[in-house]
């Protein structure tokens, strides 16, 4: 369900636009796209999500945080963190068929998220990152290994991942990797994603 390079948008970091970035991601063969927009108003987020959903016909389309937007555009699911809508409420609204991913930063949080019914875990930050503010301290690849020993649901690793350290993240057991700034700040988004995809296949 969640594997390989996991693409997440960021309109602030992007050299082009979220639309262009997602088009390149789909061309590069990604199978899951998460739309994350922390700065836009609801109307803009809704309209952009509608456009992105059309582009993602061959990939699962996940909305970050906004359960209302996911419902409005009939996205494949949402990704939520500790400060977002509680899992139980999100599941009640979305129904059983939609995907719900949860951000976790410790073994305890991972076990709780799986117990609640999360479909996958977003584990991080693995390394130091400047992509998000107010984040936890880096947990390193050791947390991935620990979680994979006891949790059965997929793990998507995020935070400070680039081409130099992605191999160690995949080797630790991550089912998917998210490397935002290492891709969308570059001149050729598709080419950069393909580099990660190739590394992932090589490591696996």
CA–CA distance, 70 with 65 (Å, rounded to integer): 9
Phi, psi angles (nearest 5°) of residue 35 = -90, 115
Mean pLDDT of 42-60: 97
Every domain of the chain and the residues it spans: 4-203
What was the pLDDT predicted at 201? Answer: 76
H-run or E-run covering 196: helix 189-203
What was the pLDDT predicted at 203? Answer: 59
CA 92 to chain centre: 22
Mean pLDDT of 181-201: 94
Of the candidates 11, 18, 36, 98, the residue annotated as catalytic is 36
**Residue 199 pLDDT greater than 90, yes or no:** no
Of the candidates 14, 20, 60, 132, the residue annotated as catalytic is 132
Torsion of CA 150, 30, 96, 102, to 10 degrees: 50
Token output for 126: 């693995």
By three-state DSSP, how is residue 51 classified?
helix
Mean pLDDT of 136-163: 96
pLDDT digits over 100-120, tens only? 999 999 999 999 999 999 999
**Residue 134 pLDDT greater than 90, yes or no:** no
Assign 12 a pLDDT band (cuts: 50, 70, 90).
Answer: very high
∠ CA 144-148-153, nearest 5°, is 110
pLDDT above 90 as % of the chain:
90
* pTM of the complete model: 0.95
pLDDT digits over 70-109, tens only? 999 999 999 999 999 999 999 999 999 999 999 999 999 9
Of the candidates 103, 148, 190, 195, the residue annotated as catalytic is 103
- Residue 103 annotated as catalytic: yes
44 preceded by cis ω (within 30°)?
no
Concatenated DSSP letters of 106-171: SHHHHHHHHHHT-SEEEE--SS--SSSSS-PPP-HHHHHHHHHHH--S-EEEESS--TTTHHHHHH
Q: What is the mean pLDDT of the chain?
A: 95
The class of domain 4-203 in CATH terms is alpha beta
Crossing angle of the two packed helices 87-94 and 107-116, in degrees rounded to 10: 30
- Residue 132 annotated as catalytic: yes
What was the pLDDT predicted at 144? Answer: 98
């Amino acid at each position: 369900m969640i594997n390989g390079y996991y693409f997440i948008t960021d309109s602030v970091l992007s050299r082009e636009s979220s639309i262009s970035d997602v088009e390149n991601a789909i061309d590069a063969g990604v199978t899951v796209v998460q739309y994350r927009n922390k700065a836009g108003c609801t109307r803009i987020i809704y309209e952009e999500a509608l456009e992105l959903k059309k582009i993602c016909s061959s990939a699962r389309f996940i909305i970050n945080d906004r359960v209302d937007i996911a419902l409005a555009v009939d996205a494949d699911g949402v990704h939520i963190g500790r400060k977002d809508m509680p899992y139980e409420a999100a599941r009640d609204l979305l129904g059983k068929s939609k995907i719900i991913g949860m951000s976790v930063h410790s073994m305890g949080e991972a076990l709780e998220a799986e117990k609640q019914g999360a479909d996958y875990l977003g584990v991080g930050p693995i390394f130091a990152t400047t992509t998000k503010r107010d984040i936890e301290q880096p947990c390193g690849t050791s947390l991935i290994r620990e979680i994979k020993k006891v949790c059965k649901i997929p793990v998507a690793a995020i935070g400070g991942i680039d081409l130099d350290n992605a191999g160690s993240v995949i080797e630790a057991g991550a089912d998917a990797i998210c490397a935002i700034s290492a891709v969308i700040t570059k001149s050729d988004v598709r080419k950069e994603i393909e580099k990660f995809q190739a590394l992932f296949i090589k490591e696996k």
